[in-house]
């Protein structure tokens, strides 16, 4: 088992299966892992770690993933925290204070991470990108944009810009990021905007569900426009291979170990 893990990690660190990957992911202060693996909510599944925890981030780094995706919400007292849903063990994040959230813990004993804590942990290494998803609330667009301002400001304050790319289901949030940080890499998740429009708005690429890409000429068009393609959330081997055959830049998965093994196998052929 240990030998397998070591082999996967070494393969992830040395792989160069996407030499055409746009420079946005490989520039900056890091020497980012040259593979398409984005660990969805960190690498949590195989070791039963809490999703979006510091532990799952550290596991994604240990495996050698190109990126670790995580989700950001804002509490009622305007603290940015990392969790997938807007409920943390029964507490509504947007309607709770940060102090309220500290009354609950992940099963491994971790508190809900603040964005500041998560970014500081991520900055301890220079191989795995931090893919920051801003979660729109059902409260107001004004609140969402205030959360966005705070998130971008925190990234800047911690000098973590080179580590962070942004994604969201909210087009307004992503356009706002482009206004306040024009050089930021932003990718849209919802799947209802054309590649041409993404390009016109200065986006880095599309980050759509795999089923979207099965209709139309997404892959060739993205290459033509200089946009990246990411696909979520891809956990089956056949789907991973289909996307790799189509030379997508990134694949978001709950099974990063599986994808890394497939990449290592393809690399040996």
pLDDT of residue 177: 98
Quick one: pLDDT at residue 97?
98
Query: Is pLDDT at 193 greater than 80 in this prediction?
Result: yes
Q: Compare 4 and 258 and report the one with higher pLDDT.
A: 258
Residue 16 has pLDDT above 60, yes or no: no
Q: What pLDDT score was predicted for residue 28?
A: 55
Indicate if the pLDDT at residue 172 is higher than 60: yes
Q: Is the predicted pLDDT of residue 24 greater than 60, yes or no? A: no
Residue 155 has pLDDT above 70, yes or no: yes
Q: What is the mean pLDDT of residues 63-89?
A: 98
| 205 has pLDDT over 90 | yes
Q: How far apart are CA 74 and CA 93, in angstroms?
A: 7
Instruction: With cut-offs at 50, 70 and 90, classify the pLDDT of residue 70.
Output: very high
CA distance 130 to 217: 29
**pLDDT > 90: percent of the chain:** 88
- Centre a 10 Å sphere on the Cβ of residue 261 and count the other Cβ atoms it contains: 18
Query: Span 224-251, mean pLDDT?
Result: 98
Mean pLDDT of the chain: 92
| pLDDT score for 2 | 44
pLDDT at position 269 is 80
Given a cut of 70, whether residue 14 has pLDDT beyond it is no
Of 167, 255, 261, 173, which Cα lies nearest the Cα of 206? 167
Q: Does 268 or 161 have the greater pLDDT score?
A: 161
Q: How high is the pLDDT of residue 29?
A: 73
């Amino acid at each position: 088992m240990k030998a397998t893990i070591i082999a996967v990690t070494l393969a992830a660190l040395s792989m160069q299966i996407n030499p055409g990957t746009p420079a946005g992911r490989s520039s900056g202060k890091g020497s980012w892992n040259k593979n398409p693996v984005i660990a969805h909510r960190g690498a949590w599944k195989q070791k039963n770690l809490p999703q979006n925890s510091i532990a799952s981030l550290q596991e994604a780094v240990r495996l050698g993933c190109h990126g670790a995706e995580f989700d950001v919400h804002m509490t009622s007292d305007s603290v940015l925290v990392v969790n997938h849903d807007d409920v943390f063990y029964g507490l509504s994040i947007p309607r709770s204070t940060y102090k309220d959230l500290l009354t609950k813990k992940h099963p491994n004993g971790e508190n809900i991470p603040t964005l500041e804590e998560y970014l500081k942990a991520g900055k301890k290494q220079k191989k795995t990108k931090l893919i920051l998803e801003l979660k729109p609330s059902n409260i107001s667009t004004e609140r969402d944009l205030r959360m966005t301002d705070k998130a971008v400001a925190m990234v800047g304050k911690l000098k973590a810009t080179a580590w962070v790319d942004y994604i969201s289901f909210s087009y307004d949030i992503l356009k706002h990021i482009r206004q306040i940080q024009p050089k930021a890499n932003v990718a849209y998740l919802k799947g209802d905007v054309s590649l041409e429009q993404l390009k016109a708005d200065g986006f880095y690429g599309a980050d759509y569900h795999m089923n979207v890409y099965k209709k139309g000429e997404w892959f060739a068009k993205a290459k033509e426009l200089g946009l990246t393609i990411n696909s979520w959330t891809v956990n089956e081997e056949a789907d991973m291979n289909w996307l790799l055959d189509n030379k997508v830049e990134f694949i978001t998965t709950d099974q990063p170990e599986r994808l890394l093994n497939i990449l290592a196998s393809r690399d040996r052929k």
